[in-house]
Amino acid sequence: MSDAELSELAAGASVVEFPAGSVVVDYANREPDRVWMVRTGQVTLQAADGAMIDTVGPGGLFGYTPLLTDGDVEFSARTTASSTLLRLPDGLVRERFAKPAGLAYLAASAWNLGTPERPTIAPATDSRPVAELLHGDALVLPPDTSVRDAVVAMTARQVSYALTRLQGGELGIFTDRDLRTRVVAAGVPVDVPIAEVVSAPARTVTVDLTAESVLMEMLECGLRHMPVVTARGEVLGVLEDADLLAASARQSFLVRRAIGLAADPAALQVVGRRVRGMAADLFRNGTKASATSAILSVVVDGMVRRALQLALAESRAPTDGVAWLSLGSVARREAMPSSDVDSALSWRDDLDPAGPDLRALAARVHEILDGCGLPSDSNGAVASSPTFARSRSQWTAAAAGWLDDPLRDRGLILSSLMVDGRVVWGEPSLNAVPAAYRRMRSEHPNALRLQLLNALSERVRARSLRDVLSRRGGTFDLKAHAVTPIVNLARWGGLAADVTSASTPERLHAAADAGALSERDATTLGDVFAMLHRLRMTHQVAQVSAGHPPGDVITMSELSPLNRSLLGDGLREIAAVQRRMKGAGYLLG
């Protein structure tokens, strides 16, 4: 609203006091014009059978859904504490909500009310196909349906999308984002057909995909809706974020939204301080360790992109022809609360004169991220260093040199970092190193053997563990002495299978398919990696919850007897795989 409209609304509002337990209004009695704002206290919205739909605190509104649907919603509003409420003037409220800005508010708020009949879906912690999560038919409207009628239909169905089939058969989707950007911001009247303002073609997934893979795609693309279709393109239903995540886990979407809205570095740093807590909440509330890491990685990517956008606004550096790469665990989608931020820059060759400005930009990005609680890599793998900021041709030449002589200029170490690289902002084609490392098995077998030799040199600390087990106060570094050997073996296995940027489990699977690793060894390493991932996440979440910096050094006495036994068995399994690989002559050919 404008200031004048807001003043008019405030002047017409009346203040009403309610003791605890009072019924403010019962919308089952068809009172569609009663819209309230909570000033102090708390109000719960209850369905006719007594089930709670929502809780409204200070500053919150309720009653606008019955307003839009002319009272065709049955619930009551009751105070849970002594409360002061503002009753808003009926005519003015109806008038405001009939305008595009009012519809935009409804898009962001009114359609998200839950229903008692809607099942509670657990976090996406398993590999169920998404077909098992669908409930109810999709809302599909004719393409000539007006925006206003679409909003009414969406509100009546309590969904936040509408689908339509466009000329030519492609599927379009209309959501709150389309309402904000294509109707409200564009000044389009609400009586236009939705076919003119839908997003098309709508991104869809097939019915055979797993819940976890769909969740990752939705997070990566910033989507809240995903139509599910058959192989022939028939719509079976629409998944919303609530179908894939329990209420506590929706923080990841909210944090992503807050990141995008951060107007300056200080605002972004406020959001950044929530990131570790978000990951801890996800894990505590049932999301498995791998999914928690993947979600955390996506959120960190969002923080990096926003920090880069804010830094660019202060910089003289070019924006076109540049790519920002994520490295390390975040690039592999395996971030932990303790993970730091590794990065690299690549740019078009004609931008070489801007190299100093681009490295200064990277330094500013990491300065912002440091303030967000996302520290730069402690070993210097950051885009502000000339080693990690080069033109595309320079990266291509460096990769060729590392392949010819991996021991020159720390080529073995740098290539291991760069083959993990994933572009999170800019032109994907500028990421030159992974492409150079494909076909390594056939074209650079000696360099591949050195990768394996390096991986096998990372010995698990089995003897150290036995020493630790005999001393209750002993410590053990889960990352350095257990996880890193698996990650390095998986990276070698991926390169042997012509796979570069990928997660550790994906690389192990590809290595088995290509015959670089036996199925038995790949499965063993994958199982041990999952166990270690869970132990690390459990340990770090406990540290975050206690207000301590997260890390990987555990005190063995903190582990349960079962986890101590699992850790010991896991280390012996890794060592056995390493022995089998050496005995089978992997280093010879």
DSSP string, 93-118: HHHHHTSHHHHHHHHHTGGG---TTS
pLDDT of residue 565: 82
- pLDDT, residue 528, reads 93
- pLDDT reading at 117 higher than 70: no
Q: What is the mean pLDDT of residues 12-32?
A: 84
What does the angle CA 358 – CA 363 – CA 366 come to, to the nearest 5 degrees?
125
If phi > 0 it is left, if psi is from -120 to 50 it is alpha, else beta; for residue 222 that is left
Tell me which of 323-327, 376-380, 564-568 is least confident: 564-568
Residue-level pLDDT at 388? 96
Q: Strands 23-26 and 75-79: what pairing?
A: antiparallel
| Confidence at residue 461, expressed as pLDDT on a 0 to 100 scale | 61
Q: In terms of pLDDT, which residue wins out, 588 or 7?
A: 7
Q: Which helix (H) or strand (E) holds 397?
A: helix 392-404
Q: Would you put residue 388 in left (φ > 0), alpha (ψ -120 to 50) or beta? A: alpha
Q: Which amino acid is at 115?
A: T
| Residue range 424-433: mean pLDDT, rounded | 91
Label the pairing between strands 225-229 and 235-240: antiparallel
Question: What would you report as the CA-atom Rg of the chain, rounded to the nearest whole angstrom?
Answer: 27
**301/239: higher pLDDT:** 301
Per CATH, domain 3-91 is 3.30.365.10: no
What is the C-alpha separation between 322 and 428, in angstroms, rounded? Answer: 9
Q: Is the pLDDT of residue 92 over 50?
A: yes
Confidence (pLDDT) at 116:
34
Rounded Cα distance between 47 and 76, Å, is 7
Query: Which is more confidently placed, 215 or 92?
Result: 92
Q: Which H or E run contains 55?
A: strand 52-56
- pLDDT (tens digit per residue) in 263-281: 999 999 999 988 888 888 8
Which CATH number fits the domain 248-437, given the four candidates 3.40.50.720, 3.40.50.2300, 3.30.460.10, 3.40.50.970? 3.30.460.10
For the chain, the average pLDDT equals 83
CATH fold of the domain at 130-240: CBS-domain (3.10.580)
CA 399 to chain centre: 31
* Residue in the structure block whose two tokens are 């098309």: 200
Name the band, by pLDDT with cuts 50, 70 and 90, for residue 304: very high
> Residue 75's pLDDT is what?
77
- Of the two residues 132 and 434, the one the predictor is more confident about is 434
Q: Which of 264, 214, 217 is nearest to 243 (CA)?
A: 214
Q: Are 126 and 211 in contact (CB under 8 A)?
A: yes
**What pLDDT does 31 receive?**
63
Q: In what helix (H) or strand (E) does residue 90 lie, and over which residues does it extend? A: helix 90-97
* Phi and psi torsions of 135, nearest 5°: -145, 125
Domain 442-588: which topology? Four Helix Bundle (Hemerythrin (Met), subunit A) (1.20.120)
Confidence grade of residue 43 (pLDDT, cut at 50, 70, 90): confident
Q: Name which residue leads in pLDDT, 381 or 111.
A: 381
Contact between residue 193 and residue 199 where contact means Cβ atoms under 8 Å apart: no
Q: Taking the chain, what is the end-to-end CA distance rounded to the nearest angstrom? A: 72
Amino acid code (one letter) for 202: A
| Mean pLDDT to the nearest integer, 417-444 | 90
Rounded mean pLDDT of 124-138? 68
Mean pLDDT of 161-171: 89
pLDDT (average), residues 383-408 = 93
Of the ranges 113-127, 140-154, 172-186, 567-581, which one carries the lowest mean pLDDT score? 113-127
Stretch among 112-121, 266-275, 400-409 having the lowest mean pLDDT: 112-121
What is the pLDDT, as a whole number, of residue 100?
A: 61
Per-residue pLDDT at 251 exceeds 90? no
Model pTM greater than 0.75?
no
C-alpha dihedral over 256, 138, 126, 524, to 10 degrees?
-90
State both tokens at 417: 């970092």
Domain chopping of the chain, boundaries? 3-91, 130-240, 248-437, 442-588
- Residue closest to 88 by CA, chosen among 38, 42, 40: 38
What kind and span of H or E run contains 83?
strand 83-87
Residue reference for tokens 């500028």? 430
Percent of the chain with pLDDT over 70: 83
Helix (H) or strand (E) holding 47: strand 43-47
Predicted confidence at residue 244, as pLDDT, reads: 63
Q: How far is CA 187 from the centre of its chain?
A: 32
